[in-house]
């Protein structure tokens, strides 16, 4: 299972990402915790250790997902 951690800049970007990922048949889960849970922390650490992929914005994310 692949985990994608996204920190939207605002509510509009959050809604856009949710709709686009839903159209791509990607399950999404919104985490609204002040302290990230275990899976979110692990995904963040993986990206920091270069085991994951980083994206600066939604356009870059979808480009990387499609390719």
List, for residues 6-46, the tens digit of each pLDDT value.
777 788 888 888 888 888 887 777 767 677 778 777 877 87
What pTM value is reported for the model? 0.44
Q: What local confidence, expressed as pLDDT, does residue 67 receive?
A: 61
Domain locations along the chain: 11-66
* 57 close to 21: Cβ distance less than 8 angstroms: no
């Amino acid at each position: 299972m692949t985990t994608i951690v996204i920190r939207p800049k605002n509510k509009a970007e959050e809604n856009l990402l949710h709709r686009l990922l839903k159209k791509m048949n990607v399950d999404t889960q919104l985490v609204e915790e002040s302290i990230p849970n275990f899976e979110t922390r692990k995904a963040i650490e993986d990206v920091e250790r270069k085991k994951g992929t980083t994206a600066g914005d939604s356009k870059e994310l979808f480009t990387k997902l499609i390719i």
